[in-house]
Amino acid sequence: MENISVAVRFRPPAAAAADTSPYSGGGVGGDREWRVDDTRIALLHRAAPVPGASFAFDHVFDGTATNVRIYGVLVRSLIRAAVHGFNGTAFAYGQTSSGKTFTMNGSGDQPGIIPLSVRDVFDTAREAADREFLIRVSYMEIYNEEINDLLTLGSQKLPIHESLERGVYVAGLREEIVNSAEQVLELLELGEANRHFGETNMNVRSSRSHTIFRMVIESSAKNQMDSGDAIRVSVLNLVDLAGSERIAKTGAGGVRLKEGKHINKSLMILGNVINKLSESGKQRGHIPYRDSKLTRILQPALGGNAKTSIICTAAPEEIHVEETRGTLQFASRAKCVSNCAQVNEILTDAALLKRQNKEIEELRKKLQVSLVYFRLLLKFRCDNSELERDRLAMELEEEKRLRETLEHRLAEQQKMLDDLNRTGISPDQFNDSIQLDALKTPNSKERPNGFVASRAHYSKDVEFSPIPENLGTVADEDLWMQLNKGCITDLEMLEMTPGFKCSQSITEDKTSVATPEEPIDARCQKLEKDCSSDRQQLEESKAKCTALENERDLLKEDNSSLLEELAKSKQEAGRLVVEKEEMLKELDMERSRMEELKQEIRLFSQAFSQRQGQLTSLYTKSKAIVENCKTSSQVSLP
């Protein structure tokens, strides 16, 4: 959103008024005068400020300001923006004879806003070397609330239409394609000749209509690569309004009176529109654009899609104080109105195609980046899972080894248990270790290599072999002798066995295996306990092993799904590449089609403007001939 630019310009005092009163800084005549500085205007009454009659603006120009200065401050940027695709409107507003036409059209030695703008449009277009321009102009007036074409004689009372594509437009208005500022200025001259002027008490050449000079600026990129760019179309309105007037002052009657009424009415509606627009959102309500042709045509410039500059012209003489005050109030409200200008682009098929292609290209780039990232991630995860797998395999190996060791130990302990069981000594029978010790040879410890006897196959016979069953098959000689208590024993039948020795592992493992000195039942119990804890450990290690194997399987699955995903992404990337190539082919075709069309348009517009030039010069010549004829007939009449 940007506010309308508003400036106030005081014209120099009229010769008659200047003669009768001093003029300083804009105000002139009588007791009241306007004091003007760069940004402020105040009404003074005998050098004292009049309450409620002080105004502040961004730019205030006194009678010494030139058109070039005003153009530079207020309009140049708007023209440059129009060449680059923004709609623009500049108009002069003020009472009759305050200098609107002087500001917009200028005089012989001081070109006004319109001719300066025309030259600037072509200069700016020339500077934009990368773009091609097609400029059309039209010139119309609103006279007594009717629209006339100033470039075509007899083309009057043109209707206003509205469509979605074109917005509000004047149907049947002639639009000239122009190639140079000179060509436009010629057309302007032609239009001026057709415009309604009239003499009033206030102005010998008073504009009796509002005129709208319009330039439609179309441009597209020249470059082959950018030929798919959108076409920019902007509308530039340069408006010279008729001035509000007091009938008493203008002394109007008849036709002038009728004109004056229409002028005042349309300016009043313009004032209403500005008033409404300057109000804040909720109070604003309905904006009466449709109440006059002027506001309808200028609708985009008033609170719409356009950059707008208003030059409010004022007369410094005391006699016009009230009108000037009205103009300054209008200007104060207008500067509160904000517009929303934006570049106007028309998307051709080629432009659409280009944009879509660009989007696809961007998406493809994004996809490539994410594919690279995805691949890295996959690789990282694969590496990780392989490492994990190796770690698990090692752990598994370790567990297996441990299990084997445990099984081995278990087997050994089982064997020992069995061995103990085979001795046949029941813990019930020998629940006292002293009793068991008594069965041993007293110095058996000192004779570790002493022989022991093992019962032969008959030894189970209690008659001859009273060795308790649970003592197993191992006994030393003394024990044998004692236990048989004098029974006849065929010692020759005894089998010689090596002395009983605890396995090293058992003797070393003091916590799990009883020392040989410990009672056998305690050793047994310990061994069984060890056995069961080993079994438990074995079970745990088996469970761990299974868990590790499961984990490994999961990792394998994970790995294969990642590989699958990678394959899919590769497939997708391939598909996108094919799609892109197809689109590029289509784009090439569109480009060549567009080039052909451009060539055709160029040829056509050249032929058209040639024909146009011929017709314009023919028209000017014939008009001059008619004028000549008229003057010669007037001269010869008397």
Ligand X SMILES: Nc1ncnc2c1ncn2[C@@H]1O[C@H](COP(=O)(O)OP(=O)(O)OP(=O)(O)O)[C@@H](O)[C@H]1O
The one-letter amino acid code at 594 reads M
- Binding characters for ligand X, 104-123, by CB under 6 A (x = yes): ---x----------------
- Binding characters for ligand X, 193-232, by CB under 6 A (x = yes): ----------x-xxx-------------------------
Residues linked to residue 5 through DSSP beta bridges, in sequence order: 309
CA separation (Å) from 239 to 46, 373, 514?
Answer: 37, 60, 120
CB of 249 to ligand X, least distance (A): 11
* Interface stretch with ligand X, choices 98-106, 156-164, 500-508, 616-624 (CB under 6 A): 98-106
Give the separation between CA 638 and CA 631, rounded to whole angstroms.
Answer: 12
- For 288, other C-beta atoms within 10 Å of its C-beta total 15
Q: Which is nearer to ligand X, 203 or 278 (CB)?
A: 203
Give the separation between CA 168 and CA 234, rounded to whole angstroms.
Answer: 14
- The alpha carbon torsion through 457, 458, 462, 465 (nearest 10 deg) reads -80
CA nearest 441: which of 499, 495, 482, 490? 482
CB of 164 to ligand X, least distance (A): 36
Which tokens hold the place of 415?
A: 């064997």
Residues linked to residue 388 through DSSP beta bridges, in sequence order: none
Give the separation between CA 104 and CA 8, rounded to whole angstroms.
Answer: 14
* Interface stretch with ligand X, choices 89-97, 186-194, 291-299, 400-408 (CB under 6 A): 89-97
Selected from 138, 278, 313, 348, the binder of ligand X by CB under 6 A is 313
CB of 141 to ligand X, least distance (A): 12
- Say whether residue 94 binds ligand X (CB under 6 A): yes
Q: Which is nearer to ligand X, 12 or 304 (CB)?
A: 12
Question: Do the Cβ atoms of 23 and 11 come closer than 8 Å?
Answer: no
Selected from 100, 232, 276, 307, the binder of ligand X by CB under 6 A is 100
Question: Do the Cβ atoms of 342 and 17 come closer than 8 Å?
Answer: no
Give the separation between CA 271 and CA 298, rounded to whole angstroms.
Answer: 13
CB of 103 to ligand X, least distance (A): 7
Type and span of the H or E element at 167: strand 167-170
| Upper half-sphere CA count for residue 46 (Cβ side, 13 Å) | 0
The one-letter amino acid code at 194 reads N
Residues linked to residue 140 through DSSP beta bridges, in sequence order: 149, 212
CB of 67 to ligand X, least distance (A): 8
* Interface stretch with ligand X, choices 95-103, 331-339, 349-357, 488-496 (CB under 6 A): 95-103
Q: Rounded to a whole number, what is the distance in angstroms from the first to the last CA of the chain? A: 65
Question: Do the Cβ atoms of 353 and 20 come closer than 8 Å?
Answer: no
CB of 28 to ligand X, least distance (A): 14
CB of 301 to ligand X, least distance (A): 19
Give the separation between CA 73 and CA 385, rounded to whole angstroms.
Answer: 72
CB of 245 to ligand X, least distance (A): 7
Q: Which is nearer to ligand X, 197 or 608 (CB)?
A: 197
- Say whether residue 260 binds ligand X (CB under 6 A): no
Selected from 101, 124, 413, 465, the binder of ligand X by CB under 6 A is 101
Give the separation between CA 268 and CA 256, rounded to whole angstroms.
Answer: 18
Q: Which is nearer to ligand X, 107 or 370 (CB)?
A: 107
Give the separation between CA 572 and CA 581, rounded to whole angstroms.
Answer: 14
Question: Do the Cβ atoms of 407 and 493 come closer than 8 Å?
Answer: no
CB of 150 to ligand X, least distance (A): 15
Q: Which is nearer to ligand X, 260 or 300 (CB)?
A: 260
Selected from 87, 89, 98, 266, the binder of ligand X by CB under 6 A is 98
* Interface stretch with ligand X, choices 29-37, 100-108, 231-239, 268-276 (CB under 6 A): 100-108
Selected from 11, 210, 354, 523, the binder of ligand X by CB under 6 A is 11
Q: Which is nearer to ligand X, 252 or 538 (CB)?
A: 252
Residues linked to residue 210 through DSSP beta bridges, in sequence order: 142
CB of 56 to ligand X, least distance (A): 22
Selected from 97, 117, 211, 278, the binder of ligand X by CB under 6 A is 97
Size of residue set near ligand X by CB under 6 A:
18
CA angle 197, 202, 204 (to 5 degrees): 40
Q: Which is nearer to ligand X, 207 or 423 (CB)?
A: 207
Q: Which is nearer to ligand X, 107 or 384 (CB)?
A: 107
- For 170, other C-beta atoms within 10 Å of its C-beta total 20
Selected from 5, 87, 89, 96, the binder of ligand X by CB under 6 A is 96
- Say whether residue 271 binds ligand X (CB under 6 A): no
* Interface stretch with ligand X, choices 68-76, 99-107, 532-540, 606-614 (CB under 6 A): 99-107
Selected from 12, 288, 304, 450, the binder of ligand X by CB under 6 A is 12
- Binding characters for ligand X, 28-47, by CB under 6 A (x = yes): --------------------
Q: Which is nearer to ligand X, 91 or 133 (CB)?
A: 91
CA nearest 133: which of 218, 214, 228? 218
Residue 136 CA to its chain's centroid (Å): 35
* Interface stretch with ligand X, choices 93-101, 323-331, 338-346, 528-536 (CB under 6 A): 93-101
Q: Which of the residues 585 through 604 are near ligand X (CB under 6 A)? A: none
Residue 370 CA to its chain's centroid (Å): 20
Selected from 91, 102, 213, 480, the binder of ligand X by CB under 6 A is 102
Question: Do the Cβ atoms of 147 and 158 come closer than 8 Å?
Answer: yes
CB of 116 to ligand X, least distance (A): 14
Give the separation between CA 86 and CA 72, rounded to whole angstroms.
Answer: 18
Which tokens hold the place of 146?
A: 């009717």
Q: Which is nearer to ligand X, 100 or 333 (CB)?
A: 100
| Upper half-sphere CA count for residue 188 (Cβ side, 13 Å) | 26
Pairing of strands 231-240, 88-94: parallel
Give me the residues that bind ligand X (CB under 6 A), please. Answer: 11-12, 94, 96-102, 107, 203, 205-207, 242-243, 313
